[in-house]
Structures are given as C-alpha cells and as structure tokens.
C-alpha cells in the first residue's frame, strides 16, 4: 500500500514538473546561420500583408522552415519547398501572423532552418538558422 501511494505521488510530481517546463509560445533565441551573399536572396515584391522572396541558394533538404523575425520575435513562419524552378531559384510567399503586418523601414531577418521552433523548444531554447538574410522592409 505504501508503494502505491509513493508511486502515485511520484507520478504526480513528475507530471507537474513536465508541464512547468513546456511553454506553448516558447521564448527562443534564433542564432544566426551563415549570412547569404548579396544577390542570392532578394525580395521580389512586398506589401504590408505579404513578402515574396526569390532564393538562389540550393539546399539539400526539399522543405525547410522559414521565419521572418523582427529582433527575436517571429512575425511570419512556415514550411516551404526549396525546389528550384527552371530559372535556378525558388520562391517563398510569406504572410504575417494574424493581427500583425510588415512595417516599412523595419529591419527583419529571414531565418531558414531545418526544424519547427516548437519542436526545438522541447529540448532547448536555442534555434539555429541554417541561413540568414537581413533586410529593411520596403513596399514594392
């Protein structure tokens, strides 16, 4: 009987500890990946509600996670195909999260990584960008 009470109490304590570690909206540190040379990533068109990138970097992965960060906060994110077109680039059209918009004159980072930040948050608060592109938003 004592063992059952002990096991129940231990299970409860482990459960509470596990729930206290996970955060639904993790505070992540997005570490810079390699800076992409001028011309390999460019903004094809942009408005307050979407930005289209032309990416001329060939990745091994067929899909990568793309984030637009303002400082250390994601403004837009999602999985995108990295397959090149006949013109030797791929395009990514990204929209801001609900309630947000892209603001002219603001410096943003396009962070391209191999994992969803929520998956990384389960074991770390640090997200490594495979590639980085910093730009100042201007409507086109």
pLDDT digits (tens, 9 = 90+) for 83-95: 987 889 999 999 9
Residue 109 within a domain: yes
Residue 140 CB partners (closer than 8 Å, separation 6+): 43, 44, 45, 46, 47
Which residue segment(s) compose the domain that 53 sits in?
26-136
Q: Is residue 18 part of a domain?
A: no
Instruction: Tell me, yes or no, whether 4 lies in a domain.
Output: no
Q: Does residue 57 fall inside a structural domain?
A: yes
3-41 pLDDT, tens per residue? 455 445 545 555 545 554 554 555 789 988 777 888 999
Q: Which of 135, 129, 128, 89 is nearest to 111 (CA)?
A: 129
Domain count for the chain = 1
Q: Which of 61, 66, 77 is nearest to 133 (CA)?
A: 66
Query: Would 97 be classed as within a structural domain?
Result: yes
**Confidence at 49, pLDDT banded by 50, 70, 90:** very high
> In this structure, is residue 124 part of a structural domain?
yes
pTM of the model: 0.79
> Quick check: is 64 in a domain?
yes
CATH number at residue 72: 2.60.40.10
User: How confident is the model over 56-100, as pLDDT tens digits?
Assistant: 999 999 999 999 999 999 999 999 999 987 889 999 999 999 999
Percent pLDDT > 90 in the chain is 62
**Residue 3 in domain:** no
Stretch 129-134: mean pLDDT? 93
Residue 138 CA to residue 134 CA, distance in Å, equals 13
């Amino acid at each position: 009987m004592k063992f059952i009470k002990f096991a129940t109490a231990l299970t409860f304590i482990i459960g509470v500890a596990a729930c206290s570690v996970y955060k639904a909206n993790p505070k992540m540190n997005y570490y810079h990946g390699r800076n992409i040379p001028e011309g390999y990533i460019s903004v094809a068109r942009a408005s307050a509600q979407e930005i289209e990138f032309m990416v001329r970097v060939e990745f091994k992965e067929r899909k990568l996670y793309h984030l637009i960060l303002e400082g250390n906060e994601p403004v837009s994110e999602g999985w995108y195909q990295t397959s090149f077109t006949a013109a030797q680039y791929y395009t990514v059209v990204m929209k801001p999260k609900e309630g947000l918009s892209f603001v002219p004159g603001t410096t943003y980072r396009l962070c391209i990584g191999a994992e969803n930040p929520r998956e990384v948050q389960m074991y770390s608060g640090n997200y490594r960008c495979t590639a980085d592109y910093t730009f100042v938003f201007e409507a086109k």
